[in-house]
Amino acid sequence: MDVLNESVQVLKGIGSSKARMLSRLGINMIQDLIYYFPKGYKDKSIITRIKDAAPGGYFNVTGIVESRASESRSKRGLLITRFIVSDGTGSLAIVFYNNRFAKNMFKQGDKAVFSGRTSLINNMVSMECPEYEKSVGNNINTLRIVPEYGLTEGLSQKEIRKAVYGALELVDNKMEEVFPAEFRKRFKLSEINFSIRNIHFPDSLKSLEMAQRRLKFQEVFFFQSYLLRMRNRTAIGEEGIEFKAKEDAKAFESKLPYSLTSAQSRVLEEVLADMGKPSAMNRLIQGDVGSGKTVIAFLALLNCVKSGYQGVLMAPTEILAVQHFETIRDYISPGGENIKIELITGSMRSACKKEVLENIKEGKIDIIIGTHAVLSEGVDFNKLGLVITDEQHRFGVRQRAILQSKGSNPDMLVMSATPIPRTLSLVLYGDLDISVIDELPPNRKKIETYFISSDKRDRLYNFVKKLIGEGRQAYIVCPLVEESEKLELNSAKEYCENIKNSYFKEYNIGLVYGKMKNEEKDRAMLSFKNGKTQIIVSTTVIEVGINVPNATIMLIENAERFGLAQLHQLRGRVGRGEHQSYCILISDSNSEAVRDRLSFMTKTNDGFLIAKKDLETRGSGEILGTRQHGLEEFRLVDLSKDYDIIKASKEAIEYLYKDNGIKEAIYHKLVKYLNDEFDKIIEKIALN
Ligand code: ADP
Ligand code: MG
């Protein structure tokens, strides 16, 4: 449909100045207008007889203007315009304030619809500043369920409505339907033109509901389809590797320095069962920080290696890769296993790297741990069987696909410490099986969390000193300044200088900020990890997953600037060792919502509860990280409420892909649409 790609200026009433305003709302083409969905609706479909319009209610009335408007001034100089309308059952006064144009808006005999609240003024039922619409033939603004759009300066509700209405007329019910009738029937979806029309100008509440269902479904369905493609998996249940060393992996449990929690055992069982199947595993392990995901990754790698394949574990930063490398090496060596493990990072010296790469290619190395470096061209595997990525949200799905392509359909395991509610995981991981480690290892001390205002700073710093005196270490997350990187840097440096010169003269203080070079960042984190610095000041989120068990206190300045899930991630840096840990949220905000959020943090350590609350209080876009995927944010779907639709969409994905139903002729249009849109997304990612 070409008309969809026309500029909004083809519409009557939209010139270059209105077009510029629309552009501020992201609306440039007819298509954008069609998909600019209302924020809400007002039901103005019921007309009340004027005699029934009692004072103190909200009514729509149709009336004939009885007289020309009169103007007067109140004592304070307010311009009052007033006229009478009647409908044969009674009369009503219409009143406007400080509106120079009101006087000439209506003349005697005009017929119009007025919507507004009624009140009693000078003993006469009156409607103050009502919404009105003159033409009663083709109603956009009254006598129906009326859409309410998000506005921008200079653009009125009426103007947007008119533009959308005009766009719909232009499109004239000729939008292409990509879902075949059979599919729509199966998943209870109304037709596209009906849906688009009714989401803007519903015939009835029932039609509105049907339109919303269809369009919400399509949002989730397309999103899931693109993710599926990014994962490079057109077919679920493709042939993969059957790993046969499950018993070896399980036997190793007795050689671990601790026994697995029952949640870990359950998840391990799920992972090993998947690996034993002929189809390729695609599993996500979700577990709160500290729930012990690494050991599960290790046992999966063991199963892989003992079955004769190579396994990769990829971490988002060098320091995390090193940490995993050391942990896994320590698991292996006392067990007397003959397993070769290597670390690949960007900062590796090239001579050394060359040899390692050669060995990987020849299959002399069993387990490879690394950063993005393992994605690079020169890294070839002999027999890659398992790919594990840690802290998945730091990786694009694309990178995972690259790794996957280095083997012949290897098993995939994704580990995430970002607890997300069920609805969200269904959207994001529609094609992954999910295991949840919903239990922390025993004897973990609960992190004590407090919420204080900055006037308690002296006492707080003294407390930090006391802990450092006992040999502990501290994180300070500094005011987050979004305006500019330079400011961000200055504020962190300034903060650092400040405490160096005052409260914490006798200590070594490290500094980490967002735009620092990776090596510098790693160096600073490393000195903290080795205990050379007692305090580390950071502006941005300290590396996810960093493990410094000796750090037992975290101060978060301007805590109101963080989302709940983010605070929880940050807090997860402490409470990793034997000592009691603390998290102090500092904020002087008076906002009730902020105080409510921060108090919530002091009451629970449960990441899933926090994520749920976070989703309710914030939008989904940020949490979904849609931009990172090059995908659009949801306009209609509310991830905290639309569980049924999300589930239906996941079912549809399975229905289409499991038995390759998508290849049938009736889905040609859908496939073409998905292909075209996907190409655009890839283009967008490439440009970023
Ligand atoms: P995360 O899930 O955040 O990646 P880790 O795998 O880093 O957690 O584990 C956190 C800490 O808990 C590590 O020091 C690890 O050795 C320890 N740990 C893991 N599982 C257990 C267990 N079952 N019992 C005791 N300690 C455990
Ligand atoms: Mg981890």
Ligand 1 centroid – CA 544 distance (Å)? 15
Name all domains of the chain by residue range, CATH numbers in brackets.
Answer: 1-44+160-174 (1.10.150), 46-143 (2.40.50.140), 176-230+627-688 (no CATH), 246-437 (3.40.50.300), 448-604 (3.40.50.300)
pLDDT digits (tens, 9 = 90+) for 374-392: 878 788 999 999 999 886 5
**492 CA to centre of own chain:** 27
Confidence of residue 317 (pLDDT cuts 50, 70, 90): confident
Q: Which ligand is nearest to the CA of 391?
A: 2
* CA gap 10, 163 in Å, rounded: 10
Q: What share of the chain is helix, strand, coil (3-state, %, to 5)?
A: 45, 20, 40
Ligand 1 centroid – CA 346 distance (Å)? 27
Ligand 2 centroid – CA 337 distance (Å)? 23
Check whether 488 has a pLDDT greater than 60.
Answer: no
Q: Which pLDDT value is given to residue 657?
A: 81
Of all atoms in ligand 1, which is nearest to the CA of residue 294? 6
Ligand 1 centroid – CA 258 distance (Å)? 9
Q: How buried is 548 (Cβ within 10 angstroms: 0-12 exposed, 13-18 middle, 19+ buried)?
A: buried
Q: Which pLDDT value is given to residue 580?
A: 94
Please give the helix or strand (H or E) that residue 332 lies within, else none: helix 318-332
Confidence of residue 234 (pLDDT cuts 50, 70, 90): very low
Ligand 1 centroid – CA 543 distance (Å)? 17
| Mean pLDDT to the nearest integer, 296-312 | 96
Average pLDDT, the chain: 86
Tokens 């305003």 label which residue?
Answer: 21
Check whether 236 has a pLDDT greater than 50.
Answer: no
* CA gap 426, 433 in Å, rounded: 10
| Mean pLDDT to the nearest integer, 503-516 | 87
Atom 19, ligand 1: residue with shortest CA distance: 292
Q: Which ligand is nearest to the CA of 292?
A: 1
pLDDT digits (tens, 9 = 90+) for 64-77: 999 889 999 999 99
* CA gap 78, 215 in Å, rounded: 47
* Dihedral over alpha carbons 336, 339, 343, 349 (to 10 degrees): 100
Residue spans of alpha helices (H) in 134-245: 157-171, 181-186, 192-200, 205-230
| Mean pLDDT to the nearest integer, 396-419 | 74
Q: Which ligand is nearest to the CA of 437?
A: 1
Ligand 1 centroid – CA 292 distance (Å)? 3
pLDDT digits (tens, 9 = 90+) for 630-676: 556 688 988 778 889 988 998 998 898 877 788 889 999 999 998 88
| Mean pLDDT to the nearest integer, 368-372 | 90
Please give the helix or strand (H or E) that residue 608 lies within, else none: helix 607-617
Residues with Cβ within 8 Å of 62's Cβ and at least 6 positions away in sequence, in order, are 47, 87, 111, 112, 113, 114, 136, 143
- Angle between the 192-200 and 157-171 helix axes, to the nearest 10 degrees? 160
Q: Which pLDDT value is given to residue 121?
A: 92
Query: In terms of pLDDT, which residue wins out, 503 or 607?
Result: 503
- Residue 61 has φ and ψ, to the nearest 5°, of -130, 150
pLDDT digits (tens, 9 = 90+) for 436-487: 898 888 877 889 999 999 999 999 999 999 999 999 999 999 865 555 555 5
Check whether 611 has a pLDDT greater than 90.
Answer: no
Residues with Cβ within 8 Å of 574's Cβ and at least 6 positions away in sequence, in order, are 447, 475, 551, 552, 553, 554, 581, 582, 583
Q: Which ligand is nearest to the CA of 291?
A: 1
Which residue ranges have their beta carbon within 6 Å of ligand 1? 258, 260-261, 264, 287, 289-295, 417, 441, 545, 547
Atom 20, ligand 1: residue with shortest CA distance: 292
Check whether 546 has a pLDDT greater than 80.
Answer: no
Q: Which pLDDT value is given to residue 226?
A: 81
Check whether 327 has a pLDDT greater than 50.
Answer: yes
Of all atoms in ligand 1, which is nearest to the CA of residue 327? 16
Q: Which pLDDT value is given to residue 639?
A: 76
Ligand 2 centroid – CA 66 distance (Å)? 76
The one-letter amino acid code at 670 reads L
Q: Which pLDDT value is given to residue 237?
A: 44
Query: In terms of pLDDT, which residue wins out, 20 or 337?
Result: 20
Atom 24, ligand 1: residue with shortest CA distance: 441
pTM: 0.64
pLDDT digits (tens, 9 = 90+) for 162-202: 999 999 999 999 999 999 999 999 999 999 999 999 999 99
Ligand 1 centroid – CA 291 distance (Å)? 6
Atom 23, ligand 1: residue with shortest CA distance: 260
The one-letter amino acid code at 515 reads K
Q: Which pLDDT value is given to residue 298?
A: 96
| Mean pLDDT to the nearest integer, 50-67 | 93
Q: Which pLDDT value is given to residue 487?
A: 54
pLDDT digits (tens, 9 = 90+) for 263-279: 999 999 999 999 999 88
Q: Which ligand is nearest to the CA of 330?
A: 1
* Dihedral over alpha carbons 589, 592, 598, 601 (to 10 degrees): 180
Pairing verdict, β 582-586 and 551-556: parallel
Helices (H) and strands (E) in the chain, counts: 23, 22
User: Given ligand 1 and candidates 260, 291, 548, which is best to mutate, with the most ligand atoms within 8 Å of its CB?
Assistant: 291
Check whether 624 has a pLDDT greater than 60.
Answer: no
User: Given ligand 1 and candidates 260, 295, 415, which is best to mutate, with the most ligand atoms within 8 Å of its CB?
Assistant: 295
Atom 14, ligand 1: residue with shortest CA distance: 576
Residue spans of alpha helices (H) in 201-317: 205-230, 246-252, 262-276, 294-306
